[in-house]
Amino acid sequence: MALIFKDETFRDDFTYKNSPATIRRFPFPFIEDQYRYSVNIEPHTPGPKGSVYEFTFDIDEHYVSEMRDRAMVLQEDPGRCQALPHMMTAQWDMLELVMVSLARDYPDLFTLHRDGAHWHWINKPLNIDQKFTFGEVNSLPYEPMEYVGRQIQGDFSLQDQRDGQLWMDAGIITSQADWSLDFDVGMNFFEWHAPVPLAHEAGVFERALKFLLNMQIGQPVRRLNWTMTINPRLDTSPENYPKWGKDRTTVTPENVGEKVHLRVELQGLFRLPRSNAILFSIRGYLMSLEQIVTVPKWGRRLPRVLKSLPPELIEYKGLARYRQTAIDWLEKYDDGAPTSPGGGPD
């Protein structure tokens, strides 16, 4: 199916919406009616055709508009893209992985010609035609991570590996769920995860770190994470909290279905070959409650899951002000029927 890119906004008038086909492929993260914390890491192998897991990086109908929103964020705040000097090899690794993957998986949209270090990249949806020399920063208009990061949906961070730790030493983060690259850059795995409740005590991060330190080239993994966002706003950063924090107080029983969005992150982890760094991709998907309930299984399950959340998590994800309003609205769509296992629609 050829993609038709939508012209829409993620700020001000918020015209973002999913088409019916995009609703069906939404990575609904709840595999059962009860909320249960799990690391849920699985190999990032190609998934079913048409699913968000089909390719290494997922491009969908929101691509062009998301890239426009990213450019606006970077224009207003260049600090959303930072790389410490020792991460240049990792930046080129990331550029290669992204370009090679996109050109392979979406040949109608992207083309890459390589002749030794002489590369020619064509991005049709964004009207980009760039010849450059791989490894030579001056041959691109931006540093490699920013160059390619402005052309792929999702946020990205690059982790250096040293001293038995991972260090977030680079990233391009413009559509984040309330965390700051500017604050986290240079931190290690335990430091940037410090605010997460419950998981530290359960030893989750120690196990996860050990797993990640031994990640192998060509064996990427993925997991889903989720939160909720008021309005389809990509940039819910701490830097812009004054712009979006107050949105939480605007939810009413009348507008909850339209305003409250489930925000799902398809997170990927890749060992990069030259730098031995780890690339972390955070590909976000937004869907309003009224679009979620168009899938009956999700309409039944979501209120059940929201009711079962532990208090620490409600606080951490910032749901406290509107969770009950959301449950009350969603329960109209829960007829009490049993739901099938797994997250996908029936």
Partner 1 sequence: MSGFPLRRVRVAEVEQVAARIKRFRFVDIDNAPLSQFSGGSHISVVMHSGDRLMRNPYSLMGSPTDTSSYQISVLHCGADSRGGSKFMHENVAVGSELEISQPLNLFPPVRLAKKHVLVAGGIGITPFMSMMNELDALRSDFELHYGVRSLEDGAYCKYLQSRYGSRVNVYRQDQGQMIPLDAILGEQRLGTHMYVCGPKPMIDWALQTAELQGWPQENLHSEQFSAPPPGKPFVVKLAKSGREIAVKGHQSILEALEEHGVDASFLCRGGACGQCETGVIACDGYIDHNDHFLSEAERVGGKKIMICMSRIQTGSITLDL
- Quickly tell me which residue has 């020792």 as its tokens: 86
| Closer of 14 and 134 to partner 1 (Cβ) | 134
- Among the candidate windows 147-155, 173-181, 235-243, 273-281, which touches partner 1 by CB under 8 A? 273-281
Tally of CA atoms within 13 A in the half-sphere of 1 that contains its CB:
11
Q: How far is the CB of 46 from partner 1 (least distance, A)?
A: 15
Q: How far is the CB of 226 from partner 1 (least distance, A)?
A: 24
Q: How far is the CB of 237 from partner 1 (least distance, A)?
A: 27
Please give the positions annotated as active site: 223
Tally of CA atoms within 13 A in the half-sphere of 76 that contains its CB:
10
User: Pick from 214, 311, 335, 338: which binds partner 1 (CB under 8 A)?
Assistant: 214
Q: Taking CB under 8 A as the rule, does residue 275 contact partner 1?
A: yes
- Among the candidate windows 28-36, 143-151, 154-162, 293-301, which touches partner 1 by CB under 8 A? 154-162
Q: Taking CB under 8 A as the rule, does residue 118 contact partner 1?
A: no
Going from the C-alpha of 104 to that of each of 5, 25, 55, 128, 321, the distances in angstroms are: 20, 21, 9, 17, 45
| Closer of 267 and 275 to partner 1 (Cβ) | 275
- Please tell me the distance from the alpha carbon of residue 173 to that of residue 192, in angstroms, as a whole number: 14
121-133 in b/e form (b: 16+ CB < 10 A) is: bbbebbeeeeebe
Q: Taking CB under 8 A as the rule, does residue 116 contact partner 1?
A: no
**Strand 155-162, strand 278-288: pairing:** antiparallel
Binding mask 232-271 for partner 1 (x = CB under 8 A): ----------------------------------------
Q: Taking CB under 8 A as the rule, does residue 13 contact partner 1?
A: no
Per the CB < 8 A criterion, the answer to whether 155 and 176 are in contact is yes
- Please tell me the distance from the alpha carbon of residue 217 to that of residue 327, in angstroms, as a whole number: 43
Binding-site size, partner 1 (CB under 8 A): 19
Other residues' Cβ atoms within 10 Å of the Cβ of residue 233: 23
- Please tell me the distance from the alpha carbon of residue 263 to that of residue 256, in angstroms, as a whole number: 15
Which amino acid type is present at position 164?
Answer: G
- Among the candidate windows 21-29, 188-196, 211-219, 298-306, which touches partner 1 by CB under 8 A? 211-219
Q: Taking CB under 8 A as the rule, does residue 86 contact partner 1?
A: yes
User: Pick from 120, 124, 131, 210: which binds partner 1 (CB under 8 A)?
Assistant: 210
Q: Taking CB under 8 A as the rule, does residue 276 contact partner 1?
A: yes
What residues contact 75, with CB distance under 8 A and at least 6 apart?
Answer: none
- Among the candidate windows 2-10, 81-89, 231-239, 291-299, which touches partner 1 by CB under 8 A? 81-89
| Closer of 273 and 342 to partner 1 (Cβ) | 273
73-94 in b/e form (b: 16+ CB < 10 A) is: bbeeeeebbbbeeebbbbbbbb
| Closer of 87 and 95 to partner 1 (Cβ) | 87
Residues lying near partner 1 in the complex (CB under 8 A): 43, 86-87, 89, 160-163, 210, 213-214, 216-219, 273-276
